[in-house]
A and B are shown apart, each in its own frame.
Chain A
Amino acid sequence: MSTTTRPLPPRLVQETLLDLRDFVVSMKLTLVLLGFSMVLVFAATLDQVKLGIWAVQEKYFRSFLVSTQVGSVVAPVFPGGYLVGGLLLINLVAAHFYRFALKWRKAGIQLVHFGLIILLVGELLTGLWQEDAHLRLNQGETKNYAESFREFEVVLSDVTDPAYDEVVAIPIDLIARKATIQHPKLPFKVDPKSYYPNSTLMSRRGGSTGVAAPGGNAGEQLTAVPQAVTYRPNEDNIPAAIIELTGPEGSLGKWLVSAELPVPQEFSHAGRSWRIALRLKRAYLPVALTLLKFSHDRYAGTEIPKNFSSRLRLATPDGRDDREVLIYMNNPLRYGGRTFYQAGFQNNDRTTVLQVVRNPSWAVPYVACTLMTIGLTLQFCLHLFGFIRKRRTPATSTRPVGRPNLA
């Protein structure tokens, strides 16, 4: 028996393609997607009360499907931001090119839609590329790195040479997956035994539980008690892990590491000094910043803040830049592809908190918005002039329309 599949009649293929095209460029699709966006944005706003802004962004906007707990199962219930935004983008691009016509009358609308395409793409790029971090500086302190808001890393550093440190940073995801890590720079294997995304350290009373190691080991006095993960904007998660290091001759011991411990723990192995710590992920900067003075101005006779500002010394390692800069509210510093904002303060006004943002696509929204604003204004003016012209030409009086209509 021949099993040749009969080719579809060309007309049917063509019709299906045409149908698909009509669907993709249709305004009905636009309306439905805009409606979905509204529902999504509204639900995300309400959910912020419970989840906090970061979790909401992940759940609603940086996802293809929004899942929620229905009874005991987690089920997708609504299209997420990537899906709605992606479809909207396809719809927009398709319709834009399908209906494109080089006409003066349409220029406004074209510009608006073209700008919108750029805006959506820019938002996607921002989501993919933007890195932001915190830079905390005490009065007089100098730092050449910023710290992540919520991401952590486990760091092993060889500090034998006083001139420099050899640092190996392990992303927390690997620790959480309990993956065994071998690195050419490390003479031992890193073996995460347990990981708690949020925890508190408690003092260990009495007997030890076998977490022992040479040198000062926090695990001898302390133990990590797991806590529920928090999403509140004013609370931080404090992760902790128990990590075993194994050299060629067997285990070196287990270390309790936690973001709550203020200083790294030291140990020596094979005649070299090492440090181990769990800390906020660092992003190194091309400059070193020193806090000269933080000012917190208040309105006279009140506690209402008037301004926050940080006077800093900015110095590059090559010595080309060495100057003072002032960062204050609504006036960030842009340097080396990064922007430094005044974000907060701590420690009785002696510590400044700067936000460091790196976003290669930062200019995209500006371009998009300029195009859209020009487009909308153009379109509005065209309508307005058309309206005025229409009113002027037929001078047939429609004046007493409001006349009583008592039949």
Chain B
Amino acid sequence: MKQYFPTALALCAVAAILLTLRAPQHSGEYDITGFGGLPTLVNGRVKPLDTVARTTLLMLQGRQRVTMPDGGSLTPAEWLLEVFFRPDLADTYQVFEIVQPDLLGLLSLGPTEGAGGKRFSLRQMSPKLGELERQARLADGVETALRTTFQRAAIQLRSSILLYQELQVSLLPPGNHAFFTEMGRLEQMLPAIAAGRAPKPGDGTTDATLLLELATTFATMERAVYLHPVTLEGSGGPTDWKTFGGAWSQAVATGRIAPAAQAFVALGRAWHGRDPESFNRTVGAQRASLVRSMPAVMNRCGVEFRFNSAQPFYSAATVYVIALLFGVVSWLRWGDVLGRSAMGLMLVAFGVSTAGILTRMWLESRPPVTNLYSSALFVGWAAVLLCLILERLYRNGIGSVAGGVIGFATLVIAHHLALGGDTMEMMRAVLDSNFWLATHVVTIAIGYSATFLAGFLALIYVLRGVLTRSLDAATASSLARMIYGIVCFATLFSFVGTILGGIWADQSWGRFWGWDPKENGALLIVLWNAILLHARWGGYVQARGLAVLALFGNIVTAWSWFGVNMLGVGLHSYGFMDAAFWALVIFVASQLAVILIAALPVARWRSFRGQRASRGAQIP
């Protein structure tokens, strides 16, 4: 029985994950799934509307689910439909996260009025929007690095509201309640316009007035450039997309309209008028026509939609935590069974992350690391791979625990980085090079993973040695060998990665090395790893010293990965962010605390307590 437990557990995990891969089905009357899979061009990339809904919600409120005032909840795509076609209702949904106390005060709102104490609706803010705009403008004048948290929050909230409003006016002009009736009349007029018999403004007919009014409306809507949902005839390449307003502006002039633009009018009419049958029919027809005209785009969008709803990285994070728990307990009890269970779960979680990363690579046609978000995914993935190898070699649960911690932590970091918007953004000019992304960036990321892994192994060494009695001599020496081996690996990859970066810089900026903050960060990792190795070769440190140095390596790597981006200077600062500053400070403090713990005399370490000096000397 006991011997089958690890396999059974892993199979359960696989089954649970397979459940998330089921084709999402619409439970209500409306074919939300079909709608969410419709493609649109946003920020230079063709993606399903479902992705637009999810990334927008993450940016506005940090989560994808929407709670309605009556307590029910909406899927992201349903929420997007409400924003598009029932804007008055959508304004009452509490989707704007505001936590800055001064900003809440400015808006005359209290935490108790918000959903979950922090989410508010546009309606709640509407009396104070003018004041918010004024405050944001004042903050605009202040240099980014010098803004107060209030000013940053004001600017952030304003940009959230602008994004929301831009979506709102993409498919429906604001305040025009007769829009769908007017559009019906316009559609009837199209053949006449195409034949050159458009009603002239001089005619004095209601049709002529209507045409003039609609032309103005579309010209205004054309200015909302965020969403390009209308495909022209063609392959669906990035230049074949238009805004809704742009497509209809053209129709008013020429009488010809892209079927996709008409489909969005029909969808709006049906959603607004609560007509599920007509909605589903339009979605079905539109999808069928797109599958015929651009099968590759629809295939990609379908996969992305499935990928969004399966959320593989959330599944992986959950399994990593369970594996971590099994690994830790295996040091205290039932070592063999739990150790193998932890290893099995790690394999499952690793498989899921691998599949997730591969899917992203296929969707983007890019190497695995393209931005800070994907670097977090990849650093975790590579570290877990190394852990699996260690666990296979040593079978002592250490690889599982270290892998569980790093796998989970990097996915949490990735989740927070995803709040900035679409994680599959287009690459800015200098980065638009798959060759260098695949070589320099990937190698550097592997260097980060290995340096972190060495640090986490050191963490296990210290905490297990000081706090528990489970660090016996054999485990201690194998941990020390693991740390040393991983540091060698880290040195190799950090160095080669840094060098490749130098070559890229020489190719694109004209200098091999420019002391740019990100370059300096990479150099610090290389220098630190070199110090570690020389200290060990020179015999200046033993196992405990090596662990302490490796722990400090965590700080160096965290600085290089995130810290330098927070400075907001240099050629590499495209990944600027400031919210994570405190997280970094806490991480650094925690590592320093462990280093202090490691400095306790060996005789006070629980694992080595009571050992004779002669034996104690050979262990640490």
Name the distance in Å between A35's Cβ and chain B's nearest Cβ: 7
Of B44, B485, B510, B540, the contact of A299 (CB 8 Å cutoff): B44
Point out the residues of chain A lying under 8 angstroms from B495, CB to CB.
372-373, 376
Point out the residues of chain A lying under 8 angstroms from B504, CB to CB.
330
- The 5 A-B pairs of least Cβ separation, nearest first, read A299-B44, A402-B396, A27-B538, A357-B510, A300-B238
Residue of A nearest to B537 (CB): A27
Name the distance in Å between B68's Cβ and chain A's nearest Cβ: 32
Point out the residues of chain B lying under 8 angstroms from A406, CB to CB.
332, 469
Point out the residues of chain B lying under 8 angstroms from A37, CB to CB.
527
Interface residue B511 (Cβ < 8 Å from any Cβ of A):
yes
Residue of A nearest to B518 (CB): A45
Of B335, B510, B534, the contact of A402 (CB 8 Å cutoff): B335
**Stretch in A13-21, A48-56, A191-199 touching the partner:** A48-56
Q: Are B567 and A45 in contact (CB under 8 A)?
A: yes
Q: Are B540 and A300 in contact (CB under 8 A)?
A: no
Point out the residues of chain A lying under 8 angstroms from B470, CB to CB.
404-405
Point out the residues of chain A lying under 8 angstroms from B472, CB to CB.
401, 405
Known contacts A27-B534, A401-B478; can you find 13 more A-B pairs with CB under 8 A? A34-B527, A45-B567, A48-B567, A61-B515, A301-B41, A304-B425, A339-B510, A369-B502, A369-B503, A376-B492, A398-B474, A401-B474, A404-B470
Q: Are B524 and A41 in contact (CB under 8 A)?
A: yes
Name the distance in Å between A376's Cβ and chain B's nearest Cβ: 5
A53 to B570, CA, bound (A): 8
Interface residue A377 (Cβ < 8 Å from any Cβ of B):
yes
- Give A363-407 as 1s and 0s: 1 = Cβ < 8 Å from B's Cβ atoms: 001100100110011011001000100010000001111111111
How many residues of chain B are within 8 Å of chain A by beta carbon? 81
Of B43, B394, B503, B514, the contact of A53 (CB 8 Å cutoff): B514
Q: Are B510 and A332 in contact (CB under 8 A)?
A: yes
Are A307 and B429 CB-contacts (below 8 A) given A44-B515, A48-B570?
yes
Interface residues of B (CB under 8 A from A): 41-45, 145, 225, 228, 238-239, 241, 243, 330-333, 335-336, 339, 393-398, 425-426, 428-430, 432-433, 436, 469-470, 472, 474-475, 478, 485, 488-489, 491-492, 495-496, 499, 502-504, 506-517, 520-521, 523-524, 527-528, 530-531, 534-535, 537-538, 540, 559, 564, 567-570
Number of A-B contacts (CB under 8 A): 191
Point out the residues of chain A lying under 8 angstroms from B512, CB to CB.
126, 362, 365
A27 to B541, CA, bound (A): 13
A400 to B516, CA, bound (A): 49
Which residues 6-58 in A have Cβ within 8 Å of B in the complex? 27-28, 30-31, 34-35, 37-38, 41-42, 44-46, 48-49, 52-53, 56-57
Are A304 and B43 CB-contacts (below 8 A) given A31-B534, A376-B492, A380-B488?
yes
Of A41, A302, A401, the contact of B527 (CB 8 Å cutoff): A41
Residue of B nearest to A52 (CB): B569
Residue of B nearest to A361 (CB): B512
A31 to B545, CA, bound (A): 14
24 contacts between A and B (CB under 8 A): A28-B540, A31-B534, A38-B524, A41-B527, A45-B564, A53-B515, A60-B515, A300-B241, A301-B41, A301-B225, A302-B44, A304-B44, A304-B426, A306-B432, A329-B432, A365-B502, A377-B492, A380-B488, A380-B489, A383-B485, A383-B488, A401-B474, A405-B469, A405-B472
A380 to B145, CA, bound (A): 43
Point out the residues of chain B lying under 8 angstroms from A42, CB to CB.
520, 524, 559
A57 to B517, CA, bound (A): 12
Q: Are B540 and A31 in contact (CB under 8 A)?
A: yes
Interface residue A188 (Cβ < 8 Å from any Cβ of B):
no
Q: Are A387 and B485 in contact (CB under 8 A)?
A: yes
Residue of A nearest to B512 (CB): A365
Q: Are A301 and B469 in contact (CB under 8 A)?
A: no
- Give A231-251 as 1s and 0s: 1 = Cβ < 8 Å from B's Cβ atoms: 001000000000000000000
Point out the residues of chain A lying under 8 angstroms from B243, CB to CB.
301
